């Protein structure tokens, strides 16, 4: 990653359109459920989309809560395309996908607009229902079946890994294969929000994470039709012939900016850390350039603990900043999944 990229405006963004959700998942870092009374209005979200497009964002994700609960979600998606956003995605738990959802997606497709669907599926029926609620797995599969019936392929399936489902990766791959997703993204449990109750008993260790990373090439070889991605920058230090002077960090503070349902400006898609609010700080670019927190994140010399003198610090820049913040309450601390 060049200095030019490190100094540029964000190109990835998430707008969390609502905190309302039809589920009460144990691992939800936003503790989603009921709608917040201070959520952004439709007009505020439209204005925000325009600002992000003008800022140079090319990948915009709509998330929640559950996006399909928001009555204006497809208006936002169409507006984002109109604003010139190149890649638009929507995260969903798939349980609310119905014929109306399918019709909206097909309508976009006819206009040459490819909506990238990100769907969560965190295990087989037993481990999934333990995490998300009894009977929810079948509802999610029902949503996937409806997409398949209409020849709609999910862009990615997201799998949050914890001790209860760490042995279920192959099972998940077998479950999702009929739906032909392009990518499976495996990410670690983040201990914030409701997920704090899972600390200790269900949090995977750094050595477990390292094992998953080492097994990934074999897993990919077995399933060439599916791109398998292990989320997080710390894995880059396992690569052979690694150039220690080339940064390969996560997006936090460098390429990403998120907006919470209440307008908080978030530094990372898995962190609640805010550097302002779009209602009181209308110049997003100014916050991006001048925020003391963001400046510290961009400076690998500001890293704390073992990262400070690590030979890989330029490469991974401390690993996942969101994980560090969720565990230690300090975004400059080491990635808790680093085994060094």
Comparing 259 with 300, which gets the higher pLDDT?
Answer: 259
CB atoms within 10 A of CB 91: 23
State yes or no: pLDDT of 46 exceeds 60: yes
Q: What is the pLDDT of residue 282?
A: 84
pLDDT tens digits along 105-159:
999 999 999 999 999 999 999 999 999 999 999 999 999 999 999 999 999 999 9
Polymer length in residues for the chain: 340
User: Cα angle vertex 97, ends 92, 99, to 5°?
Assistant: 150
Cα(7)–Cα(274) distance, integer angstroms: 20
Question: Over 60: is that where the pLDDT of 2 sits?
Answer: no
Q: How does the average pLDDT of the chain come out, rounded?
A: 94
How would residue 7 be classed by pLDDT, with cut points 50, 70 and 90?
A: low
Whether residue 129 contacts residue 135, with contact meaning beta carbons closer than 8 Å, is answered with: yes
The reported pLDDT for the residue numbered 324 is 94
pLDDT at 274: 96
Is the pLDDT at 201 greater than 90? The verdict is no
List strand residue ranges (DSSP E) for the chain, in order.
Answer: 12-16, 59-63, 87-92, 115-120, 156-161, 183-188, 227-230, 256-259, 264-266, 274-277
- The CA distance from 60 to 58, in Å, is 6
- Over 60: is that where the pLDDT of 6 sits? no
Question: For residue 240, what pLDDT band results from cuts at 50, 70 and 90?
Answer: confident
| 120 three-class SS | strand
DSSP calls for 127-145: HHHHHH-TTHHHHHHHHHH
Smallest CA-to-CA distance from 284 within 56, 76, 24 is with 56
Residue 84 CA to residue 88 CA, distance in Å, equals 10
Q: Looking at residues 267-281, what average pLDDT do you find?
A: 94
What mean pLDDT do residues 153-171 have?
96
| DSSP3 helix / strand / coil % (the chain, rounded to 5) | 40, 15, 45
* 3-class DSSP string for 155-216: CEEEEEECCCCCCCHHHHHHHHHHHCCCEEEEEECCCCHHHHHHCCCCCCCHHHHHHHHHHH
Is the pLDDT at 273 greater than 50, yes or no?
A: yes
* Sequence-separated (6 or more) residues with CB below 8 Å from residue 318: 249, 300, 303, 307, 324, 332, 333, 334, 335
Reduced to 3 states (helix: H, G, I; strand: E, B; else coil), residue 289 is helix
- The arithmetic mean of pLDDT across residues 26-49, rounded, is 97
Q: What is the pLDDT of residue 1?
A: 43
Whole-number pLDDT of residue 281:
85
pLDDT tens track for 54-87: 999 999 999 999 999 999 999 999 999 999 999 9
The pLDDT assigned to 5 comes to 47
% of the chain exceeding 90 in pLDDT? 88
> Is the pLDDT reported for residue 97 higher than 60?
yes
At 135 the pLDDT is 98
Lookup result for tokens 């399909």: 68
Homologous superfamily, domain 3-299: Aldolase class I (3.20.20.70)
Residue of 89, 45, 90 lying closest to 261 (CA atoms): 45
Round the CA-based radius of gyration of the chain to a whole number and report it: 19
Per residue in 248-262, pLDDT tens?
A: 888 898 999 999 999
- Report how far residue 327's alpha carbon sits from residue 138's, in angstroms, rounded to the nearest whole number: 33
Rounded average pLDDT over 83-92: 98
Number of neighbouring beta carbons within 10 Å of residue 146: 16
């Amino acid at each position: 990653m060049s200095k030019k990229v490190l100094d540029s405006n964000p190109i990835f963004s998430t707008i969390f359109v609502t905190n309302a959700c039809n589920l009460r998942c144990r691992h939800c870092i936003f503790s989603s459920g009921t709608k917040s009374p201070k959520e952004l209005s439709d007009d505020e979200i439209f204005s925000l989309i325009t600002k992000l497009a003008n800022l140079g964002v090319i990948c915009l994700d709509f998330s929640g809560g559950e996006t399909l609960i928001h009555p204006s979600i497809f208006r936002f998606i169409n507006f984002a395309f109109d604003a010139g956003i190149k890649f638009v995605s929507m995260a969903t738990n798939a349980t609310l996908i119905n014929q109306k959802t399918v019709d909206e997606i097909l309508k976009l497709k006819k206009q040459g607009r490819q909506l990238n669907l990100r769907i969560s599926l965190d295990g087989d029926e037993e481990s999934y229902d333990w995490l998300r609620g009894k009977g929810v797995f079948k509802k999610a599969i029902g949503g996937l079946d409806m997409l398949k019936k209409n020849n709609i392929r999910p862009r990615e399936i997201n799998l949050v890994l914890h001790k209860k489902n760490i042995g279920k990766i192959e099972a998940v791959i077998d479950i999702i294969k009929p739906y032909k997703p392009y990518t499976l993204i495996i990410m670690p449990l983040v201990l914030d929000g409701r997920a704090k109750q899972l600390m200790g008993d269900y949090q995977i260790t750094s050595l477990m994470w390292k094992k998953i990373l080492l097994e990934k090439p074999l897993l990919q070889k077995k399933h060439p039709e599916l791109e398998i991605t292990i989320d997080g920058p710390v894995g880059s230090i396992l690569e052979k012939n690694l150039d220690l002077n080339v940064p390969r960090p996560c997006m936090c503070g460098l390429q990403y900016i998120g907006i919470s349902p209440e307008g908080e400006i978030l530094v990372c898609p898995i962190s609640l850390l805010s550097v302002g609010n779009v209602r009181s700080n209308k110049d997003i670019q100014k916050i991006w350039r001048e925020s003391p927190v963001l400046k510290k994140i961009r400076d690998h010399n500001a890293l704390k603990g073992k990262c400070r003198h690590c030979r890989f610090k330029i490469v991974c820049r401390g690993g996942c900043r969101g994980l560090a913040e969720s565990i230690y309450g300090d975004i400059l601390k080491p990635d808790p999944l680093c085994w060094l």
